[in-house]
Amino acid sequence: MKENILREKICEFGKSMFDRGLTHGSTGNISALNDDGDLLVTPTGFSFGRLIPEDIVKVTCSGKIIGKNKPTKELFLHQAFYETDNKQTGAVFHLHSTHSVAYSMLPGLDEDNVFPALTPYSIMLLGKVKLLPFFVPGDPALGKEIRGIAGKRSAVLLANHGPVVAGKNLESAANAIEELENTAKLALILSGQKPRLLNNKNVNDVINKFKIEWD
């Protein structure tokens, strides 16, 4: 996608998420790769609700930062996904969405597969979601943690912080992170209710039909 269009799209997705309460204040960040392989990323300290294309920062393949603003302090988090996914990632979203953050604080979660099998759609759009431990925002060690996954997961949930989701493009990444937030909401609503989960056969049928990576 051409850079000027990509800048506009990042702002459009950001505004949509802000307007629907998926982010607040100046939280969250979005990135995407342009046709030249350079990274376009939202700036630090800016609200998704008021972004304009000129605010978006470019980080070239050589690491040069171009733009009037500083990139998000969690740039390394995005770069870790692009560097370990075998060129499958074209966009990354990170939000502090309420239900996802709340769910990440619950005790007894399965760190390797944090969500119960509630719907086929979370499996289809997210695969297994890994719960990562808490890191101070901006800590480069989080990038090392992402690289340690070695491209095996496209979605992670940062404890007491929020979700990070990678996708082939902005639309697929946006759809996936919204599905993650909705799954967290369902899990919270059903907490303690002993819901009827998808059984192992149900899960395997979804995995096989839609060719989902599941390890």
The set of catalytic residues is 74, 121
**Side chain identity at 114, as an amino acid letter?**
V
Q: What are phi and psi of 164, to 5 degrees?
A: -130, 130
Asked if residues 96 and 181 have their Cβ atoms less than 8 Å apart, the reply is no
List 40's β-bridge partners, or say none: 32, 58
Neighbours of 152 (CB within 10 A): 13
List 59's β-bridge partners, or say none: 39, 65
CA dihedral for 127, 193, 23, 73, sign (positive or negative): negative
Neighbours of 162 (CB within 10 A): 24
* Residue 183 burial (C-beta neighbours within 10 Å; 0-12, 13-18, 19+): buried
Paired tokens of 45: 């300290």
**Side chain identity at 122, as an amino acid letter?**
S
